[in-house]
Amino acid sequence: MPPKKNPKKLNPLQLKTLTILQELGNNPQTAMIDELTGDATINQFPHAHGNHFHLGPYVVSGADATGLSNEAVWRALERKGLARSFFPTAITLTQEGREYETGLRDQILHGSDH
């Protein structure tokens, strides 16, 4: 039996935010990985220019990233055991948060053309 889709019942904004945080958590320029736990602490956040921002090789719409500056979203991820919030300066994704399948990666992380 395949794993249940969205078992933590994250809402669309929480899913989008977690997808972006996962990518930030995998980038050594924006996160530090705890080798013992696998947790990723993110303390560098992208700045939008126009209606988008660059995230490694990807372009992300600013509309998909509103949760990055929303304390309620960070707290919800924390309540669900996917992160530890230090809003607004940092967030730590737990190993579970880093591995959670949001199903949105291909929808919001677009290949960069510039």
- pLDDT score, position 76: 98
Q: Is the pLDDT of residue 86 over 80?
A: yes
Q: How does residue 48 score in pLDDT terms, banded at 50, 70 and 90?
A: confident
> What would the two tokens of residue 78 be?
């924390």
User: Rounded to whole angstroms, how far apart are CA atoms 89 and 93?
Assistant: 14
Q: What is the model's pLDDT at position 112?
A: 64
Least confident stretch, 13-22, 52-61, 85-94: 52-61
Confidence class for position 4, pLDDT limits 50, 70, 90: confident
Report the mean per-residue pLDDT for the chain. 94
Q: Partners of 41 in the beta sheet?
A: 32, 92
Q: Which structural domains are found in the chain, ordered by start?
A: 12-111 (1.10.10)
Residue 68 near residue 89 (C-beta atoms within 8 A): no
- pLDDT given at position 87: 97
* pLDDT tier, 49 (very low <50, low <70, confident <90, very high otherwise): confident
